[in-house]
Copies of this chain bind each other. A is one copy, B any other.
Amino acid sequence: MTTASVCTIGDEILIGQIVDTNSSAIARALGRIGVQVTRMVSIGDRREDILDTLSRELKLADIVITTGGLGPTKDDITKAALAELSGSHAYVEHPGQLEMVYEILHSRGLDVLDINRAQALVPETCEVIVNHRGTAPIMVFRMGKATLYAMPGVPFETEAALPDVLDDISAHYPLSAISHRHLMTYGMAESALSKAIAPWEDALPADMHLAYLPNPLTGVKLRLSVYGGNPDETAARLDREVARLKALLGDVIYAEGERSLEEELGRVLADNGKTLSVAESCTGGEIAHLITGVPGSSRYFLGSVTSYAIPVKEKVLGVPDTIIRDKGVVSAEVAEAMAEGVLRLTGSDYAVATTGLAGPGGDGVYPDGTVWVAVCSKTDKKSRLFQYHNDRKRNIQRFSASALYFLLTFVNSELSR
């Protein structure tokens, strides 16, 4: 198997000022084309450290990908170190990248200074992949059987350039074709899921591999992969296994393909021309925030009310004070009245509401981590209790994910009637 080492260069990572998200993004992308990351290293902007580390990593892995240290200021020295490492005697200007430097700076209303123009200069020993999102080009150094790719450190630029880097790797290394199917699940822990599908998993063909990719807050992503083989045949075989798995897990699988709960919910609502509103208490705006994070959400999302204080629940959402007094603020009845209130207020087709305790504090009845979620349409309503044991921020995230999942299954069942 082709192996890779991912090296991030920059003092800001070593002092803990920023969390390195590039390495995991690169590792996931490499995994998808069948390249295995065996090491990740972070070092500072010091010449000897860069030279020592990169020469060692080039011996240990087939591919070395660096990020960072390519900025125009003098503390960024990766390019000079790579020139030295590759035995370059001169810099050459790359016309394609120079054009991008002008385009990017002009679009920001800035003049192009010498320091900017120098970004398009690269050691004569490298090839260039043009960076369309930033001024520093991606440099490709072919060093015997190993290749070094130097990428910028800005995550948005790294991400945009990754497909080109993957193409270059695919063109130069003997990778098996790899086919994937992703299934998004919610509501079952990894261990329970694994137990539930064990007979199916054990009977999988030897060349088919199942990976569990759990996110403790938003559910487990399942990835079914086949390396090699005829792509059409493989696709048909994967389809068959996916159908079996869906029959086994039912509603636990909420989507095929890599898609969040809010994205899948948005797709269903938009495809069916339906609208949504939200009433939040303990989730404090997080559900609306997740929904509106999806581009195009204005097609189906009308609005939300965060009724943190009791008078807002009564006055804005019309929750009867008798229900609050008799059942308590954290109750199925209040959640349902909130959902119906915001549905009435906005005229949406569906609504979801939360009332619970994110903590710390408790209400003397329920423990922290308790939430009542209600969903409703113009003709039906449902409510359900969820309980978690996390800190405030995680409880809010889990409450929100539970509410989105509960709503999605409700909408799907209403639409399939």
Interface residues, chain A, with chain B CB atoms under 8 Å away: 13-21, 23-31, 36-44, 49, 53, 108, 156, 213, 275, 277-278, 280, 283-289, 291-293, 295, 297-298, 301-309, 311-312, 315-316, 345-347, 358-360, 389, 391-393, 396
Contact = CB atoms under 8 A, between A and B. Distances in A.
Contacts of A29: 16
A27 B14 contact: yes
A346 B40 contact: no
Given A20-B20, A393-B293, A308 B303 contact: yes
Contacts of A53: 39
Given A27-B15, A302-B308, A285 B292 contact: yes
Closest 9 CB pairs of A and B: A284-B292, A285-B288, A16-B27, A16-B28, A285-B285, A40-B42, A303-B312, A285-B289, A16-B24
Given A38-B44, A303-B307, A392 B288 contact: no
A40 B21 contact: no
B31 A25 contact: no
Contacts of A26: 16
22 contacts: A14-B36, A16-B28, A19-B20, A38-B44, A38-B49, A39-B43, A39-B53, A40-B41, A41-B41, A278-B285, A284-B289, A284-B292, A284-B293, A293-B392, A297-B308, A302-B308, A302-B311, A304-B306, A305-B305, A305-B306, A305-B316, A311-B346
A315 B342 CA distance: 12
Contact of A293 (B38, B307, B396): B396
B19 A37 contact: no
Nearest to A40: B42
A79 to B, nearest CB: 21
A24 B28 contact: no
A40 B39 CA distance: 11
Given A108-B389, A285-B285, A346-B316, A38 B19 contact: no
A213 to B, nearest CB: 5
Nearest to A347: B311
Contacts of A360: 295
Given A288-B306, A308-B298, A316-B303, A23 B27 contact: no
Most buried by B among A53, A108, A305: A305
Nearest to A17: B213
Contacts of A346: 309, 311-312, 315-316
B291 A284 contact: yes
A208 B315 CA distance: 55
Contacts of A392: 293, 295
Contacts of A43: 38-40
Most buried by B among A38, A42, A301: A42
Contacts of A280: 285, 288
A389 B16 CA distance: 26
